[in-house]
Amino acid sequence: MRIAQRKCRIPGVRVFTPPYISLFYAACLLTLPVGCSDDGLPGRANTAQMADGSGAIGDVHDGKTLFELYCIACHGAGLEHPGTMRLQERVGEEQAALLDRDNLPPEYIKLVVREGFKLMPPFRPSEISDKQLDELAAYITGEAN
């Protein structure tokens, strides 16, 4: 295997790069996400299809379904969920799971979902619409119809 030699900005210093390293970086660049959804339109991430093929995630306006799609992996009941485990350290076992809490106003839930909190990432309006967020907050607080 031939090693490529590049010029360096420091006089008298030579930098050697094996060709497979360059190929590795090229392959990494090709696999980077470009911020497009399945239909190729940027900013429409919630148009992905539901796992059961029943429609687009962006069409879901049921708080329970939204919770199962976006929240349950981290905030479901049981200590195998990292969000629940972290909340148990802060608020105790009785209110560690979000659905067991009785002290979360919908406005707080919406703020945390949009802005994120510590290790929880924020969710943009292109991921969860404002209407979906209203339904999700209503479900978590028990105010859903």
- Tell me what the pLDDT averaged over the chain comes to: 74
Which tokens go with 74?
């981290």
39 found inside a domain: no
Question: What backbone phi and psi angles, to 5 degrees, belong to 126?
Answer: -75, -15
**Confidence band for 29, pLDDT divided at 50, 70 and 90:** very low
Could you tell me if 76 and 84 are in contact, meaning their C-beta atoms sit under 8 angstroms apart? yes
**Torsion sign, CA atoms 52, 58, 61, 66:** positive
* pLDDT of 43: 37
Tens of pLDDT, residues 88-107: 998 898 889 999 998 999 99
Lowest-confidence segment of 44-53, 62-71, 101-110 by average pLDDT? 44-53
Q: pLDDT digit string (tens) for 37-46?
A: 344 333 334 4
Range of 14's domain?
Answer: 1-32
Q: Tell me: do 21 and 78 sit in the same domain.
A: no
> Which H or E run includes 14?
strand 14-17
Do both 87 and 129 map to the same domain? yes
Structure tokens given for 16: 């050697």
pTM score of the predicted model: 0.59
Residue 37 lies in a domain: no
